[in-house]
């Protein structure tokens, strides 16, 4: 494969502009993404954020860049501690529980594991070092066992979120704390209260404030400066603003981050997702009702930076789109006789970059354009062009919706060709079909779909819906058998009656060369009883 010269452009929250991705070291990307605070089950909003950077990671890898991808777990936090106290267990137990939940969710929707996944509890030494350095550099002060960051000590404080301290002093809803020099000063170290976990420090027993852990983990693993920092849009202020203040205040190197990438938030049925509104969707609940890749496609249908609204209709449509993609792959498999790609997760059950589809050779390498004419010549060029169009869209700030548009164009053209019933058992036509499949699998690897052969996908979809609707499979098979007998007897009215009855129940039949198969119609409700 020819080496690519990526011209990746990313929208940088700090400059509010799309700009070329500039790497500190050519060919090598250092990327840090804010993970989750592990105190509650993983919901669709978490999934969107994690998926956003999974796509970034995949595309950078596709562009032959070496990527060092770090995503943390915040396992020391007020909410975790509160929960631990309420349940009378160690905070580590709570953290462990939700880290496991996070993995179930993210492995479940095929997120690649980052290269490093540090936890706050493992970085206490580095945090203490950083706090001490900030005091030494005149950016922090200790009061009664607490340590605060002095926001006025850093001239450009507020540059990420474009906040001016003067503007914020009045009217802002900030608690008044007489011990702080400025209302926006934030805790780097908090003195312990009875019953809470604590670590020893020069300022007395305590625990880290909310923002310092990311500064400690990112600089420890990636250095004082790195290329990409990601997270949810809500983290811009105060979390990332404070992270900049801390990291740069301690290292003296500016900027600590070249490109700030933030994913937009997810709403549910036009409202903010919240527990009180009862519109809180867990990833684990969604992926028993819908194919995990449907959730991915739902997210990828809109740009990562914009808002997205989760609803039954939306994920339903995503699943239909997914069916169309797999439909094309399935037709190719059928006509070529079997599928070629049987990816398996690692022995530990999760996916890594090694499991991504890697083309071994281009089926078209020994099939020149002259081997084709007319419509096939056109499709030949489509195969040539798809990847360029796809990559260009992805290079442009990871425009997955635009990239998918090209993929669907391609699918329609492949289907059109297949509908003309070409002979695919040998010769250039076979190469063309293999190339089409190769292209689909390549973009699939970038989007994180096509983790199974199409036939298995459709079987799985059927079983999933079957289970969910509580339909008795044997009963269906029995009805199909009766219909087959009616058809053999040319008793079409009886056969159609059975078909209609099954459709009533959500079961659609497909009479194919290999006999009658059936699918469960879509349109399942998330609110249906499971």
Six token digits for residue 13: 């929250």
**Residue found under tokens 């020994």:** 366
Provide, rounded to whole angstroms, the least separation between the CB of residue 510 and RNA: 4
Nearest residue (CB) to RNA, 103 versus 137: 103
Provide, rounded to whole angstroms, the least separation between the CB of residue 298 and RNA: 8
> CA quadruple 473, 296, 77, 72: dihedral positive or negative?
positive
Site for RNA in 224-283 (CB under 7 A): 231-239, 263-267, 270-273
Told to check if 1 binds RNA by CB under 7 A, we report no
Nearest residue (CB) to RNA, 175 versus 178: 175
d(CA 516, CA 483): 10
Contact with RNA (CB under 7 A) among 228, 495, 507, 524: 495
Provide, rounded to whole angstroms, the least separation between the CB of residue 384 and RNA: 17
Site for RNA in 423-482 (CB under 7 A): none
- DSSP, collapsed to helix, strand or coil, labels residue 470 as coil
Contact with RNA (CB under 7 A) among 124, 471, 519, 526: 519
Told to check if 320 binds RNA by CB under 7 A, we report yes
* In contact, 267 and 260? CB cutoff 8 Å: no
Nearest residue (CB) to RNA, 256 versus 356: 256
Provide, rounded to whole angstroms, the least separation between the CB of residue 497 and RNA: 9
Site for RNA in 85-144 (CB under 7 A): none
Told to check if 79 binds RNA by CB under 7 A, we report yes
Provide, rounded to whole angstroms, the least separation between the CB of residue 515 and RNA: 11
Nearest residue (CB) to RNA, 168 versus 251: 168
Q: Which of 229, 237, 233 is nearest to 267 (CA)?
A: 233
Which residues, other chains included, contact 112 with Cβ-Cβ below 8 Å and sequence gap of 6+?
Answer: 54, 57, 58, 351, 352, 353, 356, 448
State the binding string over 205-224 for RNA (x if CB under 7 A, else -): -----x--------------
Told to check if 499 binds RNA by CB under 7 A, we report yes
Provide, rounded to whole angstroms, the least separation between the CB of residue 418 and RNA: 6
Site for RNA in 406-425 (CB under 7 A): 408-409, 411-412, 415-416, 418-419
Beta strands in 192-233 (DSSP E): 206-208, 226-232
Residues in contact with RNA, counted by CB under 7 A, come to a total of 83
State the binding string over 356-395 for RNA (x if CB under 7 A, else -): -------------------------------------x--
d(CA 203, CA 141): 10
d(CA 231, CA 235): 7
* In contact, 117 and 68? CB cutoff 8 Å: no
Told to check if 496 binds RNA by CB under 7 A, we report yes
Which residues, other chains included, contact 452 with Cβ-Cβ below 8 Å and sequence gap of 6+?
Answer: 342, 343, 460
Which residues, other chains included, contact 177 with Cβ-Cβ below 8 Å and sequence gap of 6+?
Answer: 183
Contact with RNA (CB under 7 A) among 404, 435, 445, 461: 404
d(CA 524, CA 268): 17
Provide, rounded to whole angstroms, the least separation between the CB of residue 26 and RNA: 27
Told to check if 327 binds RNA by CB under 7 A, we report yes
Q: Which of 343, 368, 445 is nearest to 60 (CA)?
A: 445
Nearest residue (CB) to RNA, 265 versus 377: 265
Please state, as a whole number, how many other Cβ atoms lie within 10 Å of the Cβ of residue 161.
Answer: 15
Give, as one character, the DSSP assignment of residue 346: -
């Amino acid at each position: 494969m020819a080496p690519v010269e990526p011209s990746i452009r990313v929208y940088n929250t700090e400059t509010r502009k799309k700009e070329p991705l500039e790497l500190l070291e050519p060919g090598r990307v250092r990327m840090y993404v804010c993970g989750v605070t592990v105190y509650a089950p993983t919901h669709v909003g978490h999934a969107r954020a994690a998926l956003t950077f999974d796509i970034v990671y995949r595309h950078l890898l596709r562009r032959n860049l070496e990527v060092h991808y770090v995503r943390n777990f915040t396992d020391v936090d007020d909410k975790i501690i509160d929960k631990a106290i309420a349940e009378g267990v160690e905070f580590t137990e709570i953290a462990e529980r939700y880290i496991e939940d996070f993995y179930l969710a993210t492995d479940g929707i095929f997120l690649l594991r980052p290269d490093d996944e540090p936890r706050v509890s493992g970085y206490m030494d580095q945090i203490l070092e950083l706090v001490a350095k900030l005091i030494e550099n005149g950016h922090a002060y200790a009061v009664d066992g607490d340590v605060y960051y002095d926001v006025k000590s850093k001239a450009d404080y507020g540059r990420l979120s474009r906040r001016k301290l003067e503007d914020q002093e009045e009217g802002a809803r900030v608690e008044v704390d007489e011990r702080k020099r400025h209302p926006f000063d934030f805790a780097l170290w908090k003195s312990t209260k009875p019953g809470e976990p604590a670590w020893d420090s020069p300022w007395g027993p305590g625990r880290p404030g909310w923002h310092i852990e990311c500064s400690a983990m990112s600089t420890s693993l990636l250095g004082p400066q790195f290329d990409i920092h990601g997270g949810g849009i809500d983290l811009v202020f105060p979390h990332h603003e404070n992270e900049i203040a801390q990291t740069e205040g301690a290292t003296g190197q500016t900027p600590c981050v070249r490109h700030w990438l933030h994913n937009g938030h997810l709403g549910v049925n036009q409202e903010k997702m919240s527990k009180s509104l009862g519109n809180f969707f867990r990833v684990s609940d969604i992926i028993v009702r819908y194919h995990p890749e449907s959730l991915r496609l739902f997210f990828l249908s809109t740009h990562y930076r914009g808002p997205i609204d989760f609803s039954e209709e939306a994920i339903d449509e995503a699943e239909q789109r997914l069916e169309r993609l797999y439909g094309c792959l399935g037709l190719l498999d059928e006509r070529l006789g079997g599928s070629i790609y049987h990816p398996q997760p690692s022995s530990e059950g999760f996916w890594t970059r090694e499991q991504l589809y890697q083309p071994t050779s281009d089926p078209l390498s020994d099939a020149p354009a002259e081997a084709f004419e007319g419509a096939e010549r056109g499709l030949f060029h489509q195969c040539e062009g798809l990847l360029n169009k796809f990559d260009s869209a992805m290079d442009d700030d990871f425009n997955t919706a635009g990239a998918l548009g090209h993929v669907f164009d391609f699918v329609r053209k492949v289907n059109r060709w297949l509908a003309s019933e070409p002979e695919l058992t040998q010769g250039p036509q076979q190469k063309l079909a293999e190339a089409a499949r190769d292209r689909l699998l390549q973009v699939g690897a970038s989007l994180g779909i096509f983790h199974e052969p199409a036939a298995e996908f459709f079987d799985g979809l059927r079983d999933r819906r079957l289970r969910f609707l509580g339909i008795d499979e044997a009963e269906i098979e029995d009805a199909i058998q009766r219909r087959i007998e009616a058809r053999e007897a040319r008793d079409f009215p009886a056969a159609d009656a059975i078909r209609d009855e099954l459709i009533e129940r959500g079961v659609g039949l497909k009479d194919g060369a290999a006999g009658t198969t059936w699918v469960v119609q879509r349109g399942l409700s998330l609110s249906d009883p499971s």
